Structure formats: C-alpha cells, structure tokens
A and B are shown apart, each in its own frame.
Chain A
Amino acid sequence: MTGTRTPRRWLDRLEGGFDLIFTPRHNPLNQLGALGWFFYWIVLVTGIYLYIFFDTGLRDAYESLERITHVQWFAGGVMRSLHRYASDALVLVMVVHVMREWVLGRFRGARWFAWVSGVPLLWFVYASGISGYWMVWDQLAQYIAIATTEWLDALPFFGEPIARNFLRDGTLSGRFFTLMVFIHIGVPLFLMFLMWVHIQRHMSPRVNPPRGLAVGILLVLVLLSLIKPALSQAPADLGVVPAVIGFDWFYLPAYPLLEKISGLSLWGILVFGSLFMLCFPWIGRIRRQPVAVVDLDNCNGCGRCVQDCPFSALTLEPRQDGLPFSHQVEVKSALCMSCGICAGACPTATPFRRSKALTPGIDMPHRPLQEILGQSVAATAVLTGEDRVLVYLCDAGPKLADVIADSGVAVVCLPCVAMLPPPFMDYLLSRDHVDGIFLAGCRQGDCHFRLGLEWTEQRIARERDPMLRRRVQRERIGHAWVGCAHDVQLQAQLADFRAGLPHRRGEPPAKGVAPESSEPVTEDAGHV
C-alpha cells in the first residue's frame, strides 16, 4: 500500500462516519468524481438557459443579467444562482477529490494517467469559472478583468499590455463580450473533453452519483438559490476603482496574492506547482508489483477477466497459439495494478481439478493462486474448535494482528479480496477445512481497486461469473467491508459471524458434495 498512513486512517474514520450517516452507497465522499460530473452538467444546462437571454454589449451584458435575475427570478434567477453555486461546488469537490486521492496513494502505478490528466483539469475549471465572472461586467468583473490582464502582462508574450484595454470606458468595445462568450463556451467544452480523457482508463467509471444523492444535492442547491440568489454587484465603471468587492473565494483565491508578489512569481508558483503535481506518481518510494501473466495452455479466451479488470488492462486478441479458440487474453503491463481480480475471475482457477498443480489461465507471479491455496490449507490445518474461520484479508483493508492468536482463526492476505476465486471457498468448506470463511476488505463503496468488493459480492450472490456454487451455505461466508481504520469493528463483526455459524462438527459433508470429482465451477465454465 502506498499513501500517507496516518492521514489515511483519519480519512478512513471520517468516511466510516459518513457511511453510517449516508450509507456507503450514498456517501458523498465515495462519489466525488461523479459529483464533479453532476455539477458540470448543472452548470452546462443552466449556462445554456442563461445564454438564451444574455446580451453581448458594454451595457447590455449587465442589463440583460439584471433582467434575468430580477424579472424572471423564479426561472432565470434560480438558473443563474444554480450556475454559480454548482460551479463553486465543482471546485470544492474537485479539490477534495485531489486531496483524497493523494492521501489514499491513488496516483501511482497505472493510476498515473488519471492523476496526470487531472492536473490540467484544475486549470480549465478555473479558466471556465473566471471567464464567466467577466461576462457579468459588474465591479467584480471589472476587478477580475484588470487583475487578470495585468497578470497576463507579466508574461513576456504580449507586445502591448492587454490591460490597456481596460484603462477607461472609451477603450473597451462591445466585441469584448463576444470574445468572452466564445472563451466561456469554448473552455468548458474542452474541459468536458479532458474530463472524458481523465476516466478513459477506468472500466465502468462512476460518472453519475446515485439518484438519491443527486436529487438531494440538487434540492439543497435550489434551496440556496432561493434563499440567497446570486446577484450582480454595482455595474462596472472604468472611471471608478472598485474598492470593496464581493469575492468568490472558490475561484479567486490566488488573486489577492497579486498585491503581495509579482505576477511572474505567481505564474511561477502555479506552473511549477502543477509540474510538481504532475511528477507525484514518480516521486518517492515506488514498489511496482509484477503484472498479471496469462498461461495460454489454460486460457480459452472466455473474457471474464477482461470484463472484471477495473483498469482496462486486459484485452481479447485473436488466438495465436493454434488452440481451437477464437481469442486469447493479453495483458497491457503499463495499465496493470497487480490487484489479482483477473485471477479471481478465471473459471479455471479451481482447486477441484484433477491436475496436481493449480494453473489458472491468468495469475499473479508474486502471489500465485497455488500458493494462496497452499497457505489456506496449511493455515486451517492447525485450527481447532467448532467455529474455525479462515479470514481472507485485503492488503488495503483492516489489520487483524490481535485475532491471529485465536486458535480458531487463521488469516491469509490477498492484494484484493476479489482475487479469491469462489471455488476456493467451496473447496475449503466442502472439504471441512473450515467452518466459515470471512472476507475483510476496504470500506464498502471505496474499494482500493475500484470494483473488487462489487465483483466479490456479485460472485457470492451468484449474479456474476464465476459464481459461488449453490451447494455452499451462504451463512458460512461472511464479510466486513470496514476499511483500514476499523480494526475493532472488524473483530466485532468476525466474532458475530463465528457466533452465528451453523453447528456442523461431526456431520457428514454437505449434501451433493463429491469431494474427489472434477467439476466445473460454473454452469458454463470453459475448461481447457
């Protein structure tokens, strides 16, 4: 695990609290990226509405916005307020999103792409918002226009200072607003393209928050718009210097610095700060695990691993080894996060096969399934009691050091719980190695490898291949998705699980179990 350990535990506690209040599915801290998209759509829709009624012209711009705000306050006024407040909320969730991903260390390895493509997004969001404020042409717009152009003039690119355009009213023409409309529409459109690029390497990216959360947030923003509508300040007058300005601190926090340091210094801070951020994925201790390896002799190209990989690191390609299958799986090493979810999805990863060694079609070189099976069997061999439990512990999840001393509990660690193929659980239970299997991982809704918990739950619920066989008693499989800072909660849930295990010692193996048979894991599992 990478990431900053202590802040990570604090964050985990905070998010655990939010889980209790909102439920993991509706926890806004689990939905920051999706909320960013949601706010973007609100800004886009309200912006289109405002554009219909907006006039471009030195006086027309201000007057048209006054009409929108006051004459049709119930529609245009609310739209304008939503436009502003959703833009501010976008900055807020974006900043929290960046800090959260940094604390959780989710910028290393194959995740570099999302991190690096996210840095320009910051610039474009700010450019979109700041250009929007110009169009109001009130005193804030006047200040922003002058401060921004003076700041741009600090760069050695412009022959004549562009701030001269705002010397006095006679030097400014209505065409300025046409230009600003063009910028204020063009920059956000390009921003949308960058947002699309940002999520390109994610399988099933979350771009829509859950309906309940979206409706709730929209309602509170509408409420805010009605209670405190967004208003223009006094109209701009280049003959009068704006003195005390109502300031949007979400978009303009850097501007007051221009009175303290030179424009060039501020450019330097922001540009070098951005470049430094771009380098984050390659700074510090980097432990890159070996990537997944395909064993073509055991791969029939069924594509389940391709569907399950959260990082789009696997592709199906035409078969090249002469075996009678149409496809084979190929690993894009640059995208592989070494989570092992693909190995857990492989239908050939079954311990019931006759062949001696367990050789799945895809496996992790640093943590082969054969080794995990061996560890599981060895760890359970010494367990005693009537509630013997094997805990599969996600590396990114909670720690279980205190419970290991218990003679009825053994622990095996995995990169992600979704690396565990369902037949492993079937095997260990049906062969009476344990009385129960307990999976412990990241907080629900916040899997470190994005989709591991979701896939695991669906496999156990028999909704996703490879499914857990029906003969396995579901009450013998428990889980705790509690995250890294909730060890006590994990122990309590584990104790509850053990206490609730059906009594079976001395009973014959479960009905329908044929321990020595070689059986398919799923109805249509493709064995080679």
Chain B
Amino acid sequence: MFRALRYSLQAAIALLFVALIGYFSDSPPYIYHDARMALVKLSFSHASQRAVECRRRSAEELAQLAPNMRIAMDCPRQRVVARVELYLDEKLLFAGDMPPGGIAGDGAGSVYQRFVVLPGRYLVTARLRDSARSEGFDYENSKLVELRSRQNFVVDFRAETGGFQFF
C-alpha cells in the first residue's frame, strides 16, 4: 500500500478514535429530570415506639433469673411498624409503612421517596404514627410552599425538634 495512503488511513482512524472518545465523554446529554417540574423528597429515619410497654419484673421472676441478668425492667426490643403519609393539598402523595430495622426489629425504620410534581403553591402535610395506637397520628405538620421548577423540596423528620421539617 502506498505510504501516503497508509498515513492518511492512520490519520482517519486516529481521528475517528478521538472523535468517539471526545463525543461520548459528555454527549449526548442525558435528561434526568423534566426542567419544567419540581421534585418533592420525603426521607427520614426514625425509631418508632416499642411494640410492648416496659414492665417491672416481680421478685419471683427476678429470682428465677441468673444473678447477672436480674434487671428490674423487662423491655422487649421489638418496635412498632410506623405509618407515614404525605399530602399535597388534599391529594395523597404517599402512604406507607416503615418497618423497624435490624434483625430483632428494634432499629430505626426509614423512608426515601421522591415525587415529580408541577410547580405551584401547595399545602404540604406530613403525618407519622409511630406508636401502637390504631387511629390518628403522633406527629403532623403542614406548610404552605411555593414550589419552583427544578426545586428539590425536602420533607425530613426529627422527633427532637418537634416532628416534620420542610426545606
């Protein structure tokens, strides 16, 4: 093969190689989120209340235990399955159970959900039932928000600061 032709083909292949690398290193762009929409994220971790209340052991019960195990209070580790709900205005966005974590079911439960919503003014309401009660909720917070397109609106929860937080 003529040298000039060989070099030309080498250059063409090299060009193709760098074009391939250069192009696919950042193109075509990926559309992860509709730029006209907002995002609501509901995410928190929380240890719900114990499934069975602690009780004081009787003297007979304590006597039956080994000396190093004689603790006055009997507190079963299992926690209840918490219930969480999220509303946008009156519309239910999410309702679900939060089973406790851990092998013994004594850890914190977690929720992580995201929702794509239209921008606009909403009353966001979040509710959590973390006790053994069968009706009603232990925590409920609301906030009127103006969601912008591409906004990442976060609904978090911290029991020590009074419940749900909105960011």
Contact = CB atoms under 8 A, between A and B. Distances in A.
Contacts of A243: 31-35, 150
B152 A238 contact: yes
Nearest to A224: B18
Given A163-B112, A245-B30, A248-B25, A21 B152 contact: no
6 contacts: A20-B1, A21-B6, A159-B102, A159-B110, A167-B167, A217-B17
Contacts of B110: 159-161
Interface stretch (B7-15, B66-74, B134-142): B7-15
A interface, over-half SS: helix
Contacts of A84: 25
A250 B25 contact: yes
Interface residues of A, number: 46
Interface stretch (B38-46, B79-87, B121-129): B38-46
Contact of B43 (A161, A239, A244): A161
A408 to B, nearest CB: 31
Contacts of B35: 243-244
Interface string A222-246: 0110011010000000111111111
B45 A241 contact: no
Contacts, number: 123
Nearest to B13: A21
A464 B144 CA distance: 85
A247 B29 contact: yes
A92 interface: yes
Given A92-B20, A168-B167, 15 more contacts: A89-B17, A159-B101, A159-B107, A160-B110, A161-B43, A164-B112, A167-B41, A216-B14, A220-B14, A240-B151, A243-B33, A245-B29, A246-B27, A248-B25, A249-B24
Contacts of B156: 167
A164 B151 CA distance: 17
B28 interface: yes
Contacts of B31: 243-245
Nearest to A246: B26
Nearest to A20: B1
A85 B21 CA distance: 7
A240 B14 contact: no
Contact of B24 (A88, A239, A259): A88
Interface residues of B, number: 42
A232 B92 CA distance: 39
Nearest to A158: B110
Contact of A240 (B20, B22, B26, B150): B150
Given A159-B101, A167-B43, A238-B152, A150 B112 contact: yes
Nearest to A258: B32
A194 B29 CA distance: 33
Point out which of B14, B15, B39, B108 has the most chain A C-beta atoms below 10 A from its C-beta.
B14
Contacts of B10: 21-22, 216
B141 to A, nearest CB: 17
Nearest to A23: B6
Interface of A: 18, 20-22, 84-85, 88-89, 92, 143, 150, 153, 159-161, 163-164, 167-168, 170, 216-217, 220-221, 223-224, 227-228, 230, 238-250, 252, 255-256, 259
Contacts of A221: 18, 21
Given A230-B25, A243-B31, A220 B18 contact: yes
Nearest to B38: A241
Contacts of A163: 43, 112
Interface of B: 1, 6, 9-10, 13-15, 17-18, 20-22, 24-35, 38-39, 41, 43-45, 101-102, 107-108, 110, 112, 150-152, 154, 156, 167
Contacts of B152: 168, 238-241
Contacts of B13: 18, 21
A172 to B, nearest CB: 12
Point out which of A84, A240, A241 has the most chain B C-beta atoms below 10 A from its C-beta.
A241
A170 B25 CA distance: 31
B22 A224 contact: yes
Contacts of B151: 239-241
Q: Nearest 4 A-B pairs (CB), nearest first?
A: A246-B26, A247-B30, A243-B35, A161-B112
Contacts of A170: 167
B61 to A, nearest CB: 33
Contact of A164 (B30, B38, B43): B43
Contacts of B44: 164
A237 to B, nearest CB: 9
Contacts of A247: 26-30
Contacts of A241: 32-33, 38-39, 150-152
Contacts of A22: 10
Given A228-B22, A250-B24, A244 B14 contact: no
A239 B147 CA distance: 11
Contact of B6 (A20, A88, A153, A220): A20
Contacts of A85: 18, 21-22, 25
A220 B17 contact: yes
A143 B26 CA distance: 14
Contacts of B9: 21
A243 B36 CA distance: 9
A150 B43 CA distance: 12
A238 B154 CA distance: 10
Nearest to B9: A21
A161 B156 CA distance: 13
A386 B26 CA distance: 65
Given A22-B10, A163-B112, A143 B154 contact: no
A85 B33 CA distance: 27
B145 to A, nearest CB: 13
A224 B24 CA distance: 13
Contact of A244 (B15, B29, B41, B45): B29
A238 B156 CA distance: 14
Contacts of A244: 29-32, 35
Given A20-B6, A228-B22, A242 B33 contact: yes
